């Protein structure tokens, strides 16, 4: 069965070109990277942490935009982070965050999401 995301890529790629199959994780990363962001652009404050990631409240220095940044503690947790991003972006509900952009530094993957819920 074709995944929803794969079907989207096939539709977007047009009828003439032969569609290249893309994995769901490739699509998650590609979609999130459209808006590249540097960590140095933010002031950050640690607000929590789970098993595999630390969570920061980040404020963009020039725009003042506030977001939540979740960064895995170790590069070996990148797969978990990607699965979480894929799941978040597949669901659409006012109480479920969506990733705004993604950032990778020394193999540690960070996801930026809108801030919601706890604040």
Ligand X SMILES: Nc1ncnc2c1ncn2[C@@H]1O[C@H](COP(=O)(O)OP(=O)(O)OP(=O)(O)O)[C@@H](O)[C@H]1O
Residue among 71, 61, 68, 63 nearest 40 (CA): 61
The H or E element containing residue 31 is: helix 24-32
Helix (H, G, I), strand (E, B) or coil at 12: helix
Give contact residues for ligand X (rule: CB under 6 A): 47-53, 55, 68, 97, 113, 115-118
Q: Which residue, 29 or 66, is less far from ligand X as judged by CB? A: 66
Closer of 29 and 47 to ligand X (Cβ): 47
Asked if 55 contacts 49 with a C-beta cutoff of 8 angstroms, the reply is: yes
Q: What angle, rounded to 10 degrees, do the helices at 24-32 and 4-12 form? A: 60
Residue 46, annotated as binding a ligand: no
**Nearer Cβ to ligand X, position 34 or 51?**
51
Annotated binding residues: 70
- Residues annotated within the binding site for ATP are 70
């Amino acid at each position: 069965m074709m995944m929803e995301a794969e079907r989207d890529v096939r539709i977007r790629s047009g009828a003439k070109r032969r569609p290249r199959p893309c994995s769901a994780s490739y699509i998650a990363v590609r979609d999130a990277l459209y808006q590249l962001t540097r960590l140095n652009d933010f002031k950050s404050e640690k607000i929590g942490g789970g098993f595999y990631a630390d969570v920061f409240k980040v404020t963009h220095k020039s725009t003042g935009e506030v977001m939540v940044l979740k960064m895995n503690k170790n590069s070996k947790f990148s797969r978990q982070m990607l699965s979480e991003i894929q799941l978040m972006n597949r669901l659409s509900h006012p109480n479920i965050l969506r990733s705004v952009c993604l950032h990778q530094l020394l193999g540690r993957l960070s996801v930026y999401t809108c801030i919601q819920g706890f604040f």
